[in-house]
Amino acid sequence: MPLGERGGWERTESRYCGVETDFSNDVTHLLNFNISTGGFDYILAPLVDPSYRPSLVEGNGVDTQVLPVSGSDLVLSPSQWSSHVVGKVSSWIDLDSEDEVLRMDSETTLKQEIAWATHLSLQACLLPTPKGKSCANYARCVNQILQGLTTLQLWLRVPLVKSDGDSMDDTSEGLNDSWELWNSFRLLCEHDSKLSVALDVLSTLPSETSLGRWMGESVRAAILSTDAFLTNARGYPCLSKRHQKLIAGFFDHAAQVVISGKPVHNLQKSLDSNTEGTAKNPLRIYLDYVAFLFQKMEALPEQERIELGYRDFLQAPLQPLMDNLEAQTYETFERDSVKYIQYQRAVEKALVDRVPDEKASELTTVCLMVVGAGRGPLVRASLQAAEETDRKLKVYAVEKNPNAVVTLHNLVKMEGWEGIVTIISCDMRFWSAPEQADILVSELLGSFGDNELSPECLDGAQRFLKPDGISIPSSYTSFIQPVTASKLYNDVRAHKDLAHFETAYVVKLHSVAKLAPSQSVFTFTHPNFSTKANNQRYKKLQFNLPSDAGSALVHGFAGYFDSVLYKDVHLGIEPTTATPNMFSWFPIFFPLRKPVEVHPGTPLEVHFWRCCGSSKVWYEWSVSSPTPSPMHNTNGRSYWVGL
């Protein structure tokens, strides 16, 4: 059974727990003991007798050998093989051995075992940890196999080790940083999406920042050693706070847990026969604890549940200037009450500054223009601000989308705003206003701040703002940070063309490791009455990985924005200052054609440009250090925003 349904999670979002077993000729008994009796969801089991060596088998050649498998494919149904068995390739294989016989035996066995796993329709197979620092031949052979696979996933077993100069865990086999091992193997296998990692979680853990790197990698399973468990006051197994946090993180990133090892907690009562008289699985107490950890995780908030389907899903950014938005898009944005509360607060402060309390009784009418009014949420927020502050308001609602204008006219009639709101069906850049505005309100911000052409639109609209007029927003700044995002990289790569690597995507980041704090890129201020106003920008940035993090692979950059609406009222998605409970914007993702490996102490130097042409605006980006990357999106050849 799954680890338990809990409030706020879909059934498909439950997690599963397997158990690592030794080789057995009786797979049926193995399944009954560990699944029917033990309660585990699947077994991680060797498919072939570990004593098997092709070179020791008598016969006329490899083709005539009968593989000593754990059982015929007929002993279980196809659905049982597929749902309840993850294959485990023989752990003795060493394809990079100096011993040629061992090397050849290893290659033959690996290919035979994967072929058998494919025949059984298994969903996944666990590959043993590479034996030495060099794994080129092992990776070459696995890469050959990957080319022929369709559904079978391969999990490379890697111990979760990162030395901080102290003594290393005994099982790390002299490994300094196991991420380096995984990265070498993954690069040699050309980032194949059918290759993932299964981490051996040991009794000691690397630093928090070092562990964080793995959240952006394709971790499919955490193999939890019984030696990693502590003992609570009642004698039952439990995990340290750090181990608990790590396992919760793996659950949140859709990784499964596998219990491995011999029982080290001798609880006689729990090992007694159960009511049916069959022996209880001695590892059941570890499963129960893992299930407890899963069930005590906090339920996802409603908005997070709604957004589950958008996690790590690449979307093209909107082109609101070039295209007219659809009703469904307006509907989504209008549900974000937090955003409009912030706008209302900003308008309230602007109205009070425009008409101080001592002049509020003089019937002064403030002229406010909503440019890009959509279906009217900013008009409503502005009128509510006027009501709250007891100020008199005259509103112009300017909107270029003729379909949204129909909704605006109906809204004005329904709310009785005829004498207050004037609707203008026109592009704000080309409208001739009958008077100048005291306050100019807009919601033209994109995930990267300026990526939906807010600067160009507001530059065109500010001519009908009084010289001392107020713009809401008054400024906005874009931010980027380097990320490991294996899934996003593979999704972009799957298109097999240059254009998708030179496109910025809106995406709800989830399986991502943020490698360094974000830094500001471009800032725009409004109104900008400078005669030398220019919306082209260039910024060089330098990021440094934390010294205890270890090396990491940068697949691209996550982008955010922060905006000052007016004075101390702000709006944004930059992680350290993000407006709580706001969902109108997901971050933006700028991919790299070739991921860049970065080491602590070696800065990552990045360049970003915002380029402007007569009919479009686009971004270009590149990395210059530690290794130069190609220039991305030259002349906006792949991705641009149309004027």
d(CA 557, CA 505): 11
pLDDT recorded at residue 37: 87
Answer with the residue of higher pLDDT: 298 or 389.
389
pLDDT recorded at residue 385: 97
Average pLDDT over residues 476-494: 97
Q: How confident is the model at residue 14 (pLDDT cuts 50, 70, 90)?
A: low
- Give the closest residue to 199 by CA, choosing from 253, 255, 144, 143: 255
Domains of the chain plus CATH, in order, are 17-55+69-164+172-297 (3.20.20.150), 327-443 (3.40.50.150), 475-642 (2.70.160.11)
pLDDT recorded at residue 168: 40
330 known member of a binding site: yes
pLDDT recorded at residue 498: 96
Average pLDDT over residues 269-275: 49
At 450-481, the pLDDT tens digits run 999 999 999 888 888 999 999 999 999 999 99
- Give the closest residue to 303 by CA, choosing from 76, 613, 584: 584
- Give the closest residue to 257 by CA, choosing from 198, 297, 207, 205: 198
d(CA 201, CA 223): 6
47 in Cβ contact with 31 (< 8 Å): no
**Worst-scoring range by mean pLDDT, 228-242, 308-322, 405-419?**
308-322
pLDDT recorded at residue 325: 82
pLDDT recorded at residue 280: 82
pLDDT recorded at residue 430: 86
pLDDT recorded at residue 529: 84
Most confident of 166-180, 286-300, 549-563: 549-563
At 396-442, the pLDDT tens digits run 999 999 999 999 999 999 999 999 999 999 988 888 999 999 999 99
Q: Which residues pair with 506 in a beta bridge?
A: 315, 588
Is the pLDDT at 169 greater than 60? The verdict is no
Average pLDDT over residues 519-539: 91
286 known member of a binding site: no
Answer with the residue of higher pLDDT: 271 or 157.
157
131 known member of a binding site: no
| CB burial of residue 536 (10 Å; 0-12, 13-18, 19+) | exposed
Average pLDDT over residues 603-622: 96
At 568-590, the pLDDT tens digits run 999 999 999 999 999 889 999 99
Average pLDDT over residues 514-530: 94
Answer with the residue of higher pLDDT: 618 or 309.
618
428 known member of a binding site: yes
pLDDT recorded at residue 66: 76
Q: Buried (b) or exposed (e) across 194-209, using 16+ Cβ within 10 A?
A: bbbbbbbbbebbbeeb
Pull the structure tokens for residue 67: 């593989």
Q: On the CB side of 23, how many CA atoms lie within 13 Å of its CA?
A: 16
- What kind and span of H or E run contains 161? none
> What is the signed CA dihedral for 449, 451, 455, 456, rounded to 10 degrees?
-170
Q: How confident is the model at residue 1 (pLDDT cuts 50, 70, 90)?
A: very low
CA distances from 419 to 348, 374, 412 (A): 21, 20, 9
Compute the chain's Rg from CA coordinates: 30
pLDDT recorded at residue 316: 84
Considering the entire predicted model, what is its pTM? 0.91
d(CA 220, CA 156): 10
Q: Are strands 519-525 and 475-484 parallel, antiparallel or unpaired?
A: antiparallel
Angle at 185 between CA 180 and CA 189, to 5 degrees: 145
Residue numbers annotated as active site: 443, 452
DSSP 456-520: HHHHHHGGGEEEEEEEES-EEEEEEEEEE-HHHHHHHHTT-SHHHHT--EE-B--S-EE-S--EE
Answer with the residue of higher pLDDT: 81 or 643.
81
d(CA 167, CA 207): 14
